[in-house]
Chains A and B, each alone.
Chain A
Amino acid sequence: KQEVTQIPAALSVPEGENLVLNCSFTDSAIYNLQWFRQDPGKGLTSLLLIQSSQREQTSGRLNASLDKSSGRSTLYIAASQPGDSATYLCAVGAQKLVFGQGTRLTINP
Chain B
Amino acid sequence: GAVVSQHPSRVICKSGTSVKIECRSLDFQATTMFWYRQFPKKSLMLMATSNEGSKATYEQGVEKDKFLINHASLTLSTLTVTSAHPEDSSFYICSAGGEPYSNQPQHFGDGTRLSIL
Where the two chains meet, the residues of A that have a C-beta atom closer than 8 Å to any C-beta of B are 31-32, 34, 36, 41-46, 49, 51-52, 89, 91, 94-102
Contact = CB atoms under 8 A, between A and B. Distances in A.
Given A49-B105, A51-B101, A89-B43, 12 more contacts: A31-B100, A32-B105, A34-B105, A43-B108, A44-B93, A44-B95, A46-B106, A91-B44, A94-B98, A94-B102, A96-B34, A101-B43
B78 interface: no
B99 interface: yes
Nearest to A52: B101
Interface in B68-114: 91, 93, 95, 98-111, 113
Contacts of B49: 95-96
Interface of B: 6, 32, 34, 42-46, 49, 91, 93, 95, 98-111, 113
B90 to A, nearest CB: 13
A107 B14 CA distance: 39
Contacts of A97: 34, 44, 46, 95, 106
Contact of A95 (B44, B91, B99): B99
Nearest to B46: A96
Given A89-B43, A89-B44, A94 B6 contact: no
Contacts of A102: 43
A78 B100 CA distance: 30
Nearest to A42: B110
Contacts of B100: 31-32, 94-95
A24 to B, nearest CB: 14
